[in-house]
Amino acid sequence: MQFNDFREFLGFLEEKNELKRVRRPVDRYLETALVTKKSIEERGPALLFENVKGYGIPVASGVYGTQRRVCLGLNTTPEAFVKDYVKRSERLKEFSPRIVSSGPCKENIIKGRKVDLNKFPITWHAERDRGWYIDATCCIVQHPETRTRNASVHRLFIHEKNQTGLWMSPFNLWHIIMRYWEQGEACPMAVAIGVDPYCMMAASTSMPLEEDEFSFAGAQRGKAIDMVKCETIDLDVPATAEIILEGEIPPHERKLEAPFVEFTGYYGDERLAPIFNVKAITHRDQPIYHDIITGPPPDENQPMLITNMAEVHKVVARVFPEESILDVYLTEGGCTYFNCVVRIKKRYPGQGKQVASAVLAYQGVKNVIVVDEDIDARNHVQVEWAFTTRCRGIKDTIVIPDSLGCPLDPTSTDGVVTKMGFDATKPVGMDKPMSQMVHNPCYFPTDTVRLSDYIDGWKGEGIYRGDKKERQRAKETVSV
Ligand SMILES: Cc1cc2nc3c(=O)[nH]c(=O)nc-3n(C[C@H](O)[C@H](O)[C@H](O)COP(=O)(O)O)c2cc1C
């Protein structure tokens, strides 16, 4: 299925029972976020809050709350994701964006003094947040010399009706803004809210600066993205977006930003951050406002970071035969960002550490465990077993103190962290001398057995629900 816009994707999720409408009145102060967080924790549906107090505009939230939904948006599955992503990324040139003369995002155009962000049901997520934040953003800029487009997700703190704060780690947006500021110029930026899943995922991915992230979005969809020119700045935006903000980031102004509950699960520190002056807003008729909930895992930001698995795969593939990389997995407890498990077909001594050091070159990854092909990288019990029985502590550990990581990591100082790589592979040839036992693991062929053939009352799905009569007796027993 190829989605043309955000609302088409929401409709598809509703058909699949992956989205439910909330009709009762809800408050945009804490309530929409809390209800969404609960649904995400219970692996429940995305929500469309139709009746946000004081607003006629619905809020869609939790849309990317599970990796399953992210993958539905990209027409793949969590298991096939890395392979599909890498294969499609090789075809960027065929899917350059198509510039069209107009599109639904131009149905309403508001400029100058009439610009007022309060028109939209912008939410307040967590109690100690600094205030109202827009965070389901697709922030679009263009490199001043190459004109390559860049898209990224950044939360925008509402300072005034036409001004927001902007916080960024030193990724591509930061590098591009610096190019403008070094010339003393403001950087033009457009922010699309409520975009199709391909543009949203392109924005949450960091790609090489020379690659157009909207070509990437087109390649993931298998059809070029339609884009239209902005009204007040020289930028193109997705034609079917729900809402577009147009403006610029001036070089010298800074205002206080944060606390804001981050994807690491902690409130970020208050700090001075650049500002974004909004010059125009364009939006569709009856727009849908998109919101994304961040916080400790499970949250919504984290499933969207699944793209990092594919990017780490690409990094490893530069130093290790691609067909021998069997899986790259970022764990949920590691916020789908910091902790990586790589499953490899090891053939040569030393390859465990070689792969670990390549992965640690990826900025976000802080810890990596490399395992053999008999270990399921997504099964934490198996990974811990390999770590326990195949990793000889410090001998099989790489430590890189003072490396650039993520500034939002509470263990970091200004983004500088200690990185560690663990080689939990079995020895090959002369590397890693250890007991011969390691070559004799025992696996029971449990796949060949169906418990329901042996135990009356076994309902499958791995849950033994007990004897029917006993269950009834338990129901009738009054609990104290
Ligand atoms: C919901 C969400 C919110 C995010 N908020 C921020 C943010 O406020 N600041 C930031 O630096 N990165 C944020 N990120 C991460 C960046 O969007 C991500 O690193 C992106 O790949 C950067 O792209 P770029 O290298 O093209 O600039 C967020 C990601 C998601 C999914």
For residue 321, the model assigns a pLDDT of: 92
Q: Is 173 in the pocket of ligand 1 (CB under 6 A)?
A: yes
Q: Is 415 in the pocket of ligand 1 (CB under 6 A)?
A: no
Give the mutation target among 64, 133, 153 for probing the ligand 1 site: most ligand atoms within 8 A of CB: 153
From 272, 302, 332, the end of a domain falls on 302
Q: Give the pTM.
A: 0.91
Give the nearest ligand 1 atom to 294 CA. Answer: 1
- What is each CA distance from 471 to 237, 459, 475, in whole angstroms? 59, 13, 6
For residue 35, the model assigns a pLDDT of: 97
Considering the domain architecture, whether residues 328 and 200 belong to the same structural domain is answered as: no
Instruction: Give the phi and the psi of residue 380 in degrees, each rounded to 5.
Output: -70, -25
Considering the domain architecture, whether residues 356 and 258 belong to the same structural domain is answered as: no
Domain presence at residue 296:
yes
- Residue 63 gets the label, from left (phi > 0), alpha (psi -120 to 50) or beta, of alpha
For 473, counting Cβ atoms within 10 Å of its Cβ (0-12 exposed, 13-18 middle, 19+ buried), the class is exposed
Cβ–Cβ contacts within 10 Å for residue 171, how many? 16
The Cα–Cα gap between 6 and 17 comes to 17
How many separate domains does the chain show? 2
Domain presence at residue 470:
no
**Longest CA pairwise span in the chain (Å):** 79
Considering the domain architecture, whether residues 261 and 344 belong to the same structural domain is answered as: no
Q: Is 337 in the pocket of ligand 1 (CB under 6 A)?
A: no
Closest CA to 139 of 97, 182, 199: 199
Considering the domain architecture, whether residues 362 and 269 belong to the same structural domain is answered as: no
Domain presence at residue 246:
yes
Instruction: Give the phi and the psi of residue 124 in degrees, each rounded to 5.
Output: -120, 120
CB-based contact 363:117 (threshold 8 Å): no
* Token code pair at residue 409: 């990591």
Q: How far is the CA of 303 from the centre of ligand 1 (A)?
A: 13
Q: How far is the CA of 205 from the centre of ligand 1 (A)?
A: 8
Instruction: Give the phi and the psi of residue 188 in degrees, each rounded to 5.
Output: -65, 140
The Cα–Cα gap between 220 and 153 comes to 18
For residue 480, the model assigns a pLDDT of: 42
Instruction: Give the phi and the psi of residue 343 in degrees, each rounded to 5.
Output: -100, 125
The Cα–Cα gap between 102 and 105 comes to 8
Q: Is 301 in the pocket of ligand 1 (CB under 6 A)?
A: yes
CATH code of residue 288: 2.30.110.10
Give residues with Cβ within 8 angstroms of 84, minimum separation 6. Answer: 74, 75, 76
The residue whose CA has the least distance to atom 7 of ligand 1 is: 154
Q: How far is the CA of 392 from the centre of ligand 1 (A)?
A: 36
From 302, 332, 348, the end of a domain falls on 302
Considering the domain architecture, whether residues 149 and 290 belong to the same structural domain is answered as: yes
Q: Is 290 in the pocket of ligand 1 (CB under 6 A)?
A: no
CB-based contact 279:233 (threshold 8 Å): yes
From 269, 302, 335, the end of a domain falls on 302
Give the mutation target among 204, 304, 408 for probing the ligand 1 site: most ligand atoms within 8 A of CB: 204
Q: Is 134 in the pocket of ligand 1 (CB under 6 A)?
A: no
Considering the domain architecture, whether residues 297 and 320 belong to the same structural domain is answered as: no
* Token code pair at residue 234: 């020289």
Domain presence at residue 453:
no
Considering the domain architecture, whether residues 119 and 171 belong to the same structural domain is answered as: yes
- Residue 184 gets the label, from left (phi > 0), alpha (psi -120 to 50) or beta, of left
Give the nearest ligand 1 atom to 260 CA. Answer: 8
Instruction: Give the phi and the psi of residue 467 in degrees, each rounded to 5.
Output: -70, 140
Sign of CA dihedral 11, 14, 20, 22: positive
- Residue 91 gets the label, from left (phi > 0), alpha (psi -120 to 50) or beta, of alpha
For residue 1, the model assigns a pLDDT of: 87
* Token code pair at residue 116: 């007022």
Cα-to-chain-centroid distance, residue 413: 24
For residue 170, the model assigns a pLDDT of: 84
**List of the chain residues with pLDDT < 50:** 480
For residue 467, the model assigns a pLDDT of: 61
Q: Which three-class secondary structure string do you get for 384-442?
A: HHHHHHHCCHHHHEEEEEEEECCCCCCCCECCEEEEEEEEECCCCCCCCCCCHHHHCCC
For residue 243, the model assigns a pLDDT of: 98
Q: How far is the CA of 450 from the centre of ligand 1 (A)?
A: 46
CATH code of residue 343: 3.40.1670.10
Q: Is 168 in the pocket of ligand 1 (CB under 6 A)?
A: yes
Q: What is the CA radius of gyration of the chain?
A: 24
Domain presence at residue 448:
no
Q: Is 143 in the pocket of ligand 1 (CB under 6 A)?
A: no
Considering the domain architecture, whether residues 28 and 143 belong to the same structural domain is answered as: yes
Domain presence at residue 285:
yes
Considering the domain architecture, whether residues 49 and 158 belong to the same structural domain is answered as: yes
Q: Is 292 in the pocket of ligand 1 (CB under 6 A)?
A: yes
* Token code pair at residue 125: 């997520």
Domain presence at residue 461:
no
Considering the domain architecture, whether residues 48 and 13 belong to the same structural domain is answered as: yes
What is the DSSP pairing of strand 367-371 with strand 339-344? parallel
Q: Is 307 in the pocket of ligand 1 (CB under 6 A)?
A: no
Q: Is 150 in the pocket of ligand 1 (CB under 6 A)?
A: yes
- Alpha carbons within 13 angstroms on the beta-carbon side of residue 249 total 28
Considering the domain architecture, whether residues 223 and 341 belong to the same structural domain is answered as: no
The one-letter amino acid code at 411 reads: T
Q: Which domain holds residue 434?
A: 305-439
Domain presence at residue 342:
yes
Considering the domain architecture, whether residues 146 and 208 belong to the same structural domain is answered as: yes
